[in-house]
Structure 1
């Protein structure tokens, strides 16, 4: 089962900042994270009940650098809808 160390970052892109105005936080995690484990982590560590969670799995691109091929890491993104009145600042404790 996934734990808090599988959460890589909370994304701050133009799209995610627009979503935050509507109460949606975008979280990037490792590929072994599931919706249920993320919901447990949000409740246990941050004290937040998520209204809904949508997930997106992204495969790493194959890239070339100085003639050698490599691959970027795979990751998952979760779009977490927070209850009204709960913000990102409340989560970063």
Structure 2
């Protein structure tokens, strides 16, 4: 079955992209609540892997750069709040 090209269709590119972006942002937020530094490293690595999966098909150059900065910043801030 071919995906529907209408943006409002449940299987449209736009809806698939939106679902992936929501999931990615939720995972970035969860990074800020990692229980220890090992979890920070593991979650950060998984997020960077996911970014590689999404780029360039579902996210643009600008989004890729911004999200990479956000992931790095969140990981560094969480590291600091863990006292490391």
Would you tell me which structure has more strand in proportion to its own residues?
Answer: 1
Q: TM-score, normalised by structure 1?
A: 0.27
Q: TM-score, normalised by structure 2?
A: 0.28
Would you tell me which structure has more helix in proportion to its own residues?
Answer: 2
